[in-house]
Amino acid sequence: MIIAVFPGQGSQTPGFLSPWLELPGARERLEGYAERAQVDLVAAGTEWDADRIRDTRVAQPLIVAAGLLSWHALQDAASTPVGGVAGHSVGEIAALVAAGVLTDDDGMRLVGLRGRAMADAAAAEQTGMSAILGGDAADVLARLQSLDLTPANYNGGGQIVAAGALPALAELADQPVAGSRVIPLQVAGAFHTRYMAPAVDVLRAAAAELSPADPTTTLWTNADGSVVPDGRTALDLLVAQVASPVRWDLCMESFATAGVDGVVELAPAGTLTGLVKRALRGTPTVAVKTPDDIAAAVTLLKGASA
């Protein structure tokens, strides 16, 4: 089984969409996505600098649009289907589209709203996120609890992302758990925590107006790493997960249980394949960063079906 995965916020870099716009029809597709998300995604993906594309309102639709552009390119090139899909954080919207739960248009409208709602929630208080690499997991969680910080992402491979008030994150960095490193993340707020509750309310109202279809392929959820049985459940979990931890560690455990033979990460790729290499050692991976990487992904798919 080859699994396609979609990365989350922070994976974008300036100009990363430029090579994708050389594909036939890609610019027109991206312009349509931009209209739905209410963000100039062509300029954001080709011209804007790192600070500008770090804005949550921009980053989230930009990442999902990139995932969908590369997904469609892979679908056009490959005759062998993937065995399942999953997304990390905002990447779950791209995964729902890839699984047939949402249309491209509904996915881009939803991610545009998600970015705006989460940015508004983040502006209410000064919060942030920091990655903790290494250290005993129990000690890390105890330390976060003592600082009133939330373990927002369980990424596996010895990585937990803490979220909460900036002074508490600064204290964590000054006095890290033994054997760990603390890396502040360039995000605008404490995502996947109680601070995002207002955004959940906004998204829940919008999701109620959508008509999700049931998944056409295996779809895993960040909520607990389980397979999602139907489209409405998938959408409800995606909405609630905005204020709940990302359990990517459990997703990877489920991949292993399902007998994963390889993982293809769609653009802007690299982060999730890195986690897979640490947590699922020996599993072949392809990071589709540019259109030149599509051929390697197709080869991996063909090899698994042989």
What's the rounded mean pLDDT across residues 80-101?
Answer: 97
CA distance 111 to 58: 10
Does residue 42 surpass a pLDDT of 90? yes
What's the rounded mean pLDDT across residues 158-174?
Answer: 95
pLDDT at site 187 = 83
- Listed residue (17, 247, 215, 40) closest to 151, CA to CA: 247
Q: All domains of the chain, ordered by start, with CATH?
A: 2-123+193-305 (3.40.366.10), 127-184 (3.30.70.250)
Give whole-number Cα distances, 39 to 17, 84, 155, 167, in Å: 15, 29, 29, 32
- Cα atoms found within 13 Å of the Cα of residue 267, Cβ hemisphere only: 27
List all residues 6 or more positions away from 134 whose beta carbon is below 8 Å from its beta carbon. Answer: 158, 179, 180, 181
* Residues labelled catalytic: 89, 192
Q: Are 110 and 102 in contact (CB under 8 A)?
A: yes
Residues of the chain with pLDDT > 70, as a percent, come to: 99
Tokens of 299: 């080869």
The alpha carbon dihedral of 18, 19, 24, 30 has a sign of negative
pLDDT at site 10 = 85
pLDDT at site 119 = 95
Q: Are 289 and 270 in contact (CB under 8 A)?
A: yes
Q: Packing angle between helix 56-77 and helix 104-123, nearest 10 degrees?
A: 160
When pLDDT is cut at 50, 70 and 90, the band that residue 157 belongs to is confident
For 254-304, write each residue's pLDDT tens digit.
999 999 999 999 999 999 999 999 999 999 999 999 999 999 999 999 887
pLDDT at site 306 = 53
User: How is the chain split among helix, strand and coil, in percent rounded to 5?
Assistant: 50, 15, 30
- Listed residue (198, 128, 130) closest to 164, CA to CA: 128
Residue by residue, DSSP assigns 149-215 as -EEEEEEETTEEEEEEEHHHHHHHHHSPPTTEEEEE---SS-TTSGGGHHHHHHHHHHHTT--PPPP
